[in-house]
Amino acid sequence: MSETQRFPSPLAGEGQGGGKDAGFGTGLPPPLTPPRQGEGNRARYFRPGPWENAAVVLIGLGVVMLMQPFALSLFTYSFVTILTGTILFVIVSHFRE
């Protein structure tokens, strides 16, 4: 008995019971789910992506303010800026996607 006769082919439609499975191989992404009832515009504004980016930029701005040697007022408010960005990041990380 040759090797091709002992083992069925892994290709669909060949071997034992082959054929095409329903729903597989269409190449299309799964359909998008609509927003839940009552979320409407709120779901659009409270996505974590843009808010997390803003929080990271705020933290980075605070670090730059902390390290610059030119203006004492920027240095003075650097800790508050970093703290605000960190708190914003913690809050935004709890938003639903």
pLDDT in the model for residue 25: 58
User: CA angle at residue 87 from 85 to 91, to 5 degrees?
Assistant: 115
Residues 19, 12: contact at Cβ < 8 Å? yes
What phi and psi values does residue 19 have, to the nearest 5 degrees?
110, 175
Q: What is the pLDDT, as a whole number, of residue 52? A: 93
| 24-76 residue pLDDT tens | 556 677 777 766 666 566 666 777 888 999 999 999 999 999 999 999 999 99
* Higher-confidence position of 61 and 16: 61
More confident residue, 48 or 97: 48
Model-wide pTM > 0.75: no
Nearest to 52 by CA among 81, 79, 88: 88
